[in-house]
């Protein structure tokens, strides 16, 4: 009977090792990095630099600079990730948010963002749509352009990975009021 | 280059704002009450008491400042004054202060907490995803800016939004104001503390249930290692839900403390025999914890009630089968009082819900809405008339009832846990339930295993379910019945479209799959290891 007890113990130890091994697996972390998949579980192999690179930490200085210029309580447009980062740091509200967190509260903005006019400003017809929308919705005061090339979260949104076009075209509608290391703040004219 | 001790300053602020005042208040309470003193002997209990008292004090302070139309920044003067006042109260104890500061430390467990803290110190809590964490930080930021819990204009889009319990966000706002550290840094740093607190709370719960420090320590270790719903997800420990989980674990531990607080000299087992200083102290600590949960995430109050209720159901099944309850749970009068009231409440509400939805619901939905209440009524009638019926008829009826529940399991959905290709097609969002056809072809909701369920259940979760059933059948005691009932009933809700659809509609909640948090597989496996070790040493009890 003792043997049965030991066998049971051995089986459970094997089960625990099997199920918890991923916390110690370097390859898993590397594969996740390669595929830009977020690391939700803790891992002894997870390097601290990732937290620094893929969150808003590197932008805090830029946000600090903006906070002195930005009018509190105003509405800001940016890519999805930067919108959330701004909402957590600045005294502003944002329009570009997840669907389950109130994107459709501002219906006109949700439709406008879904049509992606802002991402393809190099086309004249899109610039006309943008101008028309901004005229109808003067509540939008600022646009933040994120020029960072390192963080993954930027790839979630066309406004993020087309920041170069935005930087070139935005001066046609807005004035650059702050130029940071990663973030630029434009005030709509 | 990132320094080794990055954001050290934010950690010092966390220790001050979220621990120091609570620790001093805890010392004062230990001086006042010997029952409280005895309750907080362990390091884990003192740390958690310090944390939850601090969270409550901070929350109250902000509420008072808001009521007086004062800025939250005033807290930077009031908080040190509170610290000073509490320190004076403690020092006034004179030589008694040494007794108040006594603490029982197990260095092995402490090493585990240190490892958890260090790993999470470096892993941090800002996962590479635009997760709901940012929504919470936005809320905390606006609370800090407005010096108010009630944000009329919402916080993210600038338009009114749904109410979210703001206690934890208020504490984050206070940390932000006092330390001038940005919220993402506070969030990231607190993750290490929150993860450690959560593991400590799990230890206290396991200890109250098993009364064995080795088993409880093992449960805490498995909680860190094994994936599941709530456990192992230590990188999200700064979320309000995880603050509520921590309080919930402590709360469950307190329930078993109340169960064990019967005055044994009274010789009776009436509810009044639990009316003594020990149980009142445990209830006195439990009530503020319930308030903390209510104002930080709410949902854990439901899981708390369900955890106790499922245990009550297991005892009732045992009672119907062979009339055996007293030997298993001495506190059965308390449980029966709670279980009886809860049954009347939910069956009544479920009956009303069935009638209310009858015209709108499909035939399968009607079956779903009626199934659980009818089953409950039959089961409790059976338990009531148990002594008047022949034993074979009682047992046969019980088997039929249990078989009816098992029969509602969707075999394709069950198999898809192991073979993902068999899963029902995904819906609009990952959180959306899958559609499983009922008996009459109408769609019923069922949770997708792709949520945190598959990695939690494969394989430790599903193995633990089997182990818990075996342990409950062969060694029916409080530990095994509590763990088994919670594990199996929670899983039944995830496997049966009729039960899951009913739960989702009754609660009007988008993610009732979180009920799987009651699977408690780290505890089941720890108890099993502990029993196997005893068995291997020749102890056959």
Predicted confidence at residue B323, as pLDDT, reads 85
Distance from CA of A67 to the nearest CA of B (A): 12
What count of CB pairs under 8 Å joins A to B?
A: 170
Measured between beta carbons, the chain B residues lying within 8 angstroms of A19 are 225-227, 459-460
Confidence of residue A180 (pLDDT cuts 50, 70, 90): very high
CA–CA separation, B31 and B44 (whole Å): 18
Predicted confidence at residue B274, as pLDDT, reads 77
Measured between beta carbons, the chain A residues lying within 8 angstroms of B158 are 73, 75, 93
Strand partners, B435: B445
The dihedral region occupied by B268, where left means phi > 0, alpha psi between -120 and 50, and beta the remainder, is beta
Confidence of residue B269 (pLDDT cuts 50, 70, 90): low
**Contact between A2 and B154 using a beta-carbon 8 Å cutoff:** no
- The 8-class DSSP code of residue B4 comes to T
- Assess contact for B66 and B152: CB atoms under 8 A: no
Confidence of residue B473 (pLDDT cuts 50, 70, 90): very high
Please give the C-alpha separations between residue B76 and each of B26, B80, B514, in angstroms, as whole numbers: 22, 7, 39
With CA atoms as reference, report the closest residue to B27 among B78, B82, B93. Answer: B93
Q: Among A17-31, B368-382, B423-437, B490-504, name the one with the lowest average pLDDT.
A: B423-437
In which residue are the tokens 């447009």 written?
Answer: A77
CA–CA separation, B87 and B312 (whole Å): 44
Instruction: Calculate the average pLDDT of chain B.
Output: 93
The answer, yes or no, to whether residue B268 has pLDDT greater than 80, is no
Read off the pLDDT of each residue in B238-256 and give the average, rounded to a whole number.
Answer: 96
Angle of helix B391-407 relative to helix B363-384, nearest 10 degrees, comes to 160
Predicted confidence at residue B42, as pLDDT, reads 97
- Assess contact for A92 and A104: CB atoms under 8 A: no
**Contact between B225 and A57 using a beta-carbon 8 Å cutoff:** no
The answer, yes or no, to whether residue A36 has pLDDT greater than 90, is no
Predicted confidence at residue B39, as pLDDT, reads 94
**Contact between A97 and B463 using a beta-carbon 8 Å cutoff:** no
Which A positions 118-177 lie with beta carbon below 8 A of chain B? 152-153, 156
The answer, yes or no, to whether residue B254 has pLDDT greater than 70, is yes
Confidence of residue B267 (pLDDT cuts 50, 70, 90): low
- A2 vs B396, which has greater pLDDT? B396
**Burial degree of A114 (CB within 10 A; 0-12, 13-18, 19+):** exposed
pLDDT tens-digit series, residues A40-60: 899 999 988 888 888 899 999
- Residue by residue, DSSP assigns chain A as -HHHHHHHHHHHHHHHHHHHGGGG-HHHHHHHHHTT----S--TT--HHHHHHTSSGGGHHHHHHHHTTSPTT-EEE--HHHHHHHHHHSS-EES---GGGTGGGSHHHHHHHHTTGGGGTTSHHHHHHHHHHHHH-TTEEEEEEE--SS-GGGGGSHHHHTHHHHHHHGGGTEEEEEE-SSEEEEEE-
CA–CA separation, B170 and B151 (whole Å): 12
Distance from CA of A163 to the nearest CA of B (A): 18
- The 8-class DSSP code of residue B426 comes to P
Predicted confidence at residue B186, as pLDDT, reads 96
Predicted confidence at residue B217, as pLDDT, reads 97
- Assess contact for B376 and B404: CB atoms under 8 A: no
CA–CA separation, B397 and B393 (whole Å): 6
Confidence of residue B389 (pLDDT cuts 50, 70, 90): very high
Q: Among A109-123, A141-155, B125-139, B188-202, name the one with the lowest average pLDDT.
A: A141-155
Confidence of residue B53 (pLDDT cuts 50, 70, 90): very high
Confidence of residue B262 (pLDDT cuts 50, 70, 90): confident
CA–CA separation, A37 and A153 (whole Å): 10
CA–CA separation, B433 and B473 (whole Å): 33
pLDDT tens-digit series, residues B114-153: 999 999 999 999 988 888 899 999 999 999 999 999 887 8
Confidence of residue B305 (pLDDT cuts 50, 70, 90): very high
pLDDT tens-digit series, residues B405-426: 999 999 999 999 999 999 999 8
**Burial degree of B329 (CB within 10 A; 0-12, 13-18, 19+):** buried
Count CB neighbours of A30 within 10 A: 11
SS3 of B428, please?
coil
Distance from CA of B414 to the nearest CA of A (A): 20
* Sign of the torsion angle spanned by Cα atoms B219, B262, B52, B36: negative
Of A42, A50, A88, the CB nearest to B138: A88
Read off the pLDDT of each residue in B378-393 and give the average, rounded to a whole number.
Answer: 93
The answer, yes or no, to whether residue B4 has pLDDT greater than 70, is no
Read off the pLDDT of each residue in A19-33 and give the average, rounded to a whole number.
Answer: 92
With CA atoms as reference, report the closest residue to B274 among B320, B233, B333, B318. Answer: B333
Measured between beta carbons, the chain A residues lying within 8 angstroms of B529 are 9, 12
Q: What is the 3-state secondary structure (H, E, C) of A66-120?
A: HHCCCCCCCEEECCHHHHHHHHHHCCCEECCCCHHHCHHHCHHHHHHHHCCHHHH
Distance from CA of B114 to the nearest CA of A (A): 14
**Contact between A57 and B2 using a beta-carbon 8 Å cutoff:** no
Confidence of residue B266 (pLDDT cuts 50, 70, 90): low
């Amino acid at each position: 009977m003792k043997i049965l007890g030991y066998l049971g113990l051995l089986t459970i130890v094997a089960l625990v090792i099997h199920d918890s091994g991923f916390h110690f697996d370097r390859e898993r972390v590397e594969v996740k990095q390669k595929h830009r998949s977020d690391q939700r579980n803790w891992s002894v192999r997870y390097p601290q630099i990732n937290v620094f690179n893929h969150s808003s930490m590197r932008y805090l200085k830029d946000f600090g600079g903006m906070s002195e210029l930005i009018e509190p309580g105003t509405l800001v447009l940016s890519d999805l990730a930067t919108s959330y980062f701004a909402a957590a740091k600045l005294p502003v509200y944002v329009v570009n948010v997840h669907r389950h967190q109130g994107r459709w509260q501002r219906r006109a903005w949700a439709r406008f963002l879904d049509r992606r006019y802002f991402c393809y400003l190099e086309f004249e017809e899109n610039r006309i749509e943008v101008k028309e929308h901004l005229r109808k919705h003067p509540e939008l005061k600022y646009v933040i352009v994120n020029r960072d090339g390192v963080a993954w979260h930027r790839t979630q949104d066309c406004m993020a990975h087309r920041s170069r076009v935005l930087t070139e075209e935005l001066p046609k509608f807005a004035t650059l009021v702050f130029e940071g290391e990663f973030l630029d703040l434009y005030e709509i004219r | 280059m990132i320094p080794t001790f990055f954001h050290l300053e934010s950690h010092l602020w966390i220790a001050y704002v979220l621990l120091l005042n609570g620790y001093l208040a805890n010392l004062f309470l230990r001086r006042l009450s010997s029952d409280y003193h005895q309750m907080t002997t362990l390091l884990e209990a003192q740390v958690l008491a310090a944390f939850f008292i601090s969270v409550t004090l901070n929350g109250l302070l902000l509420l008072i400042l808001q009521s007086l139309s004062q800025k939250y920044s005033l807290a930077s003067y009031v908080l040190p004054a509170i610290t000073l006042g509490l320190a004076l109260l403690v020092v006034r104890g004179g030589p008694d202060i040494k007794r108040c500061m006594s603490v029982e430390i197990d260095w092995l467990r402490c090493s585990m907490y240190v490892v958890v803290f260090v790993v999470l110190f470096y892993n941090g809590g800002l996962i590479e995803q635009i997760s709901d964490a940012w929504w919470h930080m936005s809320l905390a930021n606006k609370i800090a800016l407005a010096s108010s819990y009630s944000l009329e204009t919402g916080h993210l889009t600038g338009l009114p939004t749904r109410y979210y319990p703001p206690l934890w966000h208020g504490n984050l706002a206070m940390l932000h104001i006092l330390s001038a550290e940005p919220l993402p840094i506070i969030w990231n740093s607190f993750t290490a503390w929150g993860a450690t607190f959560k593991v400590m709370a799990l230890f206290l719960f396991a200890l109250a249930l098993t009364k064995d420090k080795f088993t409880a320590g093992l449960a805490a270790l498995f909680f860190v290692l094994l994936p599941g719903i709530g456990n192992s997800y230590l990188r999200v420990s700064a979320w309000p839900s995880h603050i509520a989980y921590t309080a919930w674990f402590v709360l469950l531990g307190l329930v078993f403390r109340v169960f064990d607080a019967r005055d044994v000299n009274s010789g009776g087992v009436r509810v009044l025999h639990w009316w003594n200083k020990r149980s009142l102290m445990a209830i006195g600590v439990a009530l503020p914890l319930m308030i903390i949960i209510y104002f930080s995430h709410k949902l854990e109050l439901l899981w708390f009630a369900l955890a106790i209720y499922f245990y009550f159901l297991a005892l009732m099944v045992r009672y119907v089968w062979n009339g055996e309850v007293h030997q298993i749970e001495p506190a059965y009068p308390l449980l029966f009082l709670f279980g009886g009231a809860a049954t009347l409440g939910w069956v009544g509400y479920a009956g009303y819900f069935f009638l209310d939805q009858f015209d709108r619901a499909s035939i399968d939905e009607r079956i779903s809405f009626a199934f659980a209440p009818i089953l409950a009524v039959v089961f409790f009638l059976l338990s009531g008339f148990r002594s008047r019926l022949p034993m074979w008829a009682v047992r046969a009826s019980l088997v039929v009832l249990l078989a009816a529940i098992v029969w509602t399991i969707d075999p394709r959905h069950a198999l898809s846990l192991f073979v993902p290709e068999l899963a029902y097609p995904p819906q609009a969002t990952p959180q959306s339930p899958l559609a499983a056809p009922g008996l009459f072809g109408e769609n019923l909701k069922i949770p997708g295993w792709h949520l945190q369920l598959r990695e939690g259940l494969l394989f430790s979760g599903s193995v633990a379910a089997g182990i818990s059933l075996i342990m409950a059948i062969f060694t029916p005691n409080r530990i095994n019945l509590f763990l088994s009932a919670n594990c199996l009933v929670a899983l039944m809700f995830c496997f049966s479209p009729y039960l899951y659809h009913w739960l989702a509609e009754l609660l009007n909640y988008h993610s009732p799959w979180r009920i799987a948090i009651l699977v408690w597989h780290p505890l089941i496996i720890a108890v099993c290891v502990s029993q196997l070790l005893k068995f291997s040493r020749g102890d056959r009890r």
